[in-house]
Amino acid sequence: MAKRIAIALLVLIAVLAIGAAVGLHFAAGSLRDKVREALGPESEVGEISLGWSAVEVRGVRVPGPKEWPTADALRAARITVTPDFRALFSSRQVRISRIVVEKAYLSVFRTKDGKLRLLPGILERQSDPAGDSGGGLPVTIDSVQLHASVLEFFDASVARPAHKVRLERLEARVDDLRLPELTSRTALNLEGIVRGVQRDGSFGIKGHIQLASRDSEIATHLKGVDLVALQPYLIKASETGVKHGSLDMELNSTVKQNHLHAPGTLTVHQLELAPGKGGMGTFMGMPRSAVVGLLKDRNGQISVKFVLEGRLDDPRFSLNETFMKRVGASMAEGLGISLESVAKGLSSTTQSIGSSIGKLFGGK
């Protein structure tokens, strides 16, 4: 009797195992279709593995559209989603403990007219007015992590073909996302390498933000970023070039009730410019001859302190213009030149940096 019971149990376990395997196979196929539908009709999804505690997706690829500056808008070697099943049964909400994205590639395109485009096949897709109105279950994501990834930024507003800035070894973590209301105090931590022509620099962003209200406290730093790699932002195409140098920036921003307060420091190290015709031309909007003269007096370093201040909901407030004015005025004091010449000479450098900061804070 005991032997028969053991055999029966073994047969039952085998049947359950086969049934589970078949069920997981069909579930994985259905899930693959859903993932491909979410990513767009041109996307590619490799293997999907359904475990008892997590879902693993390998070989994700989203190609760029015809006008995209590179072949892929997104690639990811592996995405692992760990749901919290207990929360679904106990509180009628979808809770995801962790989403981990490994060895991803993301391309961002800034068009000639300054429009920033990201994942056009997903974020720019026309929504279906007859579709879901958003009344589903609330979703909480405890943590989203990005490991060993790459981002390439293509900017057609400063060069043709589009100038490329490459960020490597990206490590990122975003904690506490609550959809769709976005009222949580979401923490973020992002760091990586800015690839240069002569040297590689580093960057980091750390703080928290409430996405619904845009209230935030964020610290941003750049260290040792190669000025040669940023040359299209620093000097007009018709002027002399940068032979050597690096850039540091520290910015501590606070946004509360749409009011921005952001003190910062911008430092240029060991700048060396290519010979210009008669000393003419500009660097970061400053007369070239004045910049070279200042470097001789300061052992190859220029440091500028500035404060960005204003209301983000004020239609008259422009973060780009505020950044240009603050940096231009501070540098003018160090150079001993008039603010009028600064205003006339401001180049696209401050516009580009100001625009990037504006995207981060949601400003203009």
**Among 30-44, 58-72, 336-350, which range has the highest average pLDDT?**
58-72
Q: Which residues of 74-108 are buried (b: 16+ CB within 10 A; e: fewer)?
A: bbbbbbbebbbeeeeeeeeebbbbbbbbeebbbbb
Identify the pLDDT of residue 134.
44
What average pLDDT does this structure show over 162-184? Answer: 89
pLDDT single digits (tens) 124-164: 764 444 444 444 567 888 998 999 999 999 988 888 889 99
User: In the chain, what are the domain boundaries?
Assistant: 10-125+135-184, 196-364
CA distance 118 to 74: 9
Per the model's pLDDT, the better-predicted residue between 363 and 67 turns out to be 67
CA distance 349 to 155: 13
Contact 145/99 with Cβ under 8 angstroms? yes
Per the model's pLDDT, the better-predicted residue between 265 and 304 turns out to be 265
pLDDT band at 330 (very low <50, low <70, confident <90, very high): low
Identify the pLDDT of residue 69.
94
**Phi–psi pair at 241, nearest 5 degrees:** -100, 180
pLDDT single digits (tens) 232-249: 877 765 566 788 889 899
Residue 112, number of CB atoms within 10 A of its CB: 11
Identify the pLDDT of residue 55.
84
Contact 337/290 with Cβ under 8 angstroms? yes
Question: Which residues neighbour 347 within 8 Å (Cβ) at sequence distance 6 or greater?
Answer: 233, 234, 235, 236, 282, 284, 285
Q: What percent of the chain has pLDDT over 90?
A: 27
pLDDT band at 120 (very low <50, low <70, confident <90, very high): confident
pLDDT single digits (tens) 191-217: 999 999 999 999 999 999 998 888 999
Question: Which residues neighbour 154 within 8 Å (Cβ) at sequence distance 6 or greater?
Answer: 69, 70, 107, 108, 109, 110, 162, 163, 164
Residue whose pair of structure tokens reads 């970023």 in the numeric block: 225
CA distance 61 to 44: 5
Structure tokens at 19: 């049934």
Identify the pLDDT of residue 2.
55
CA distance 189 to 177: 14
What average pLDDT does this structure show over 48-53? Answer: 79
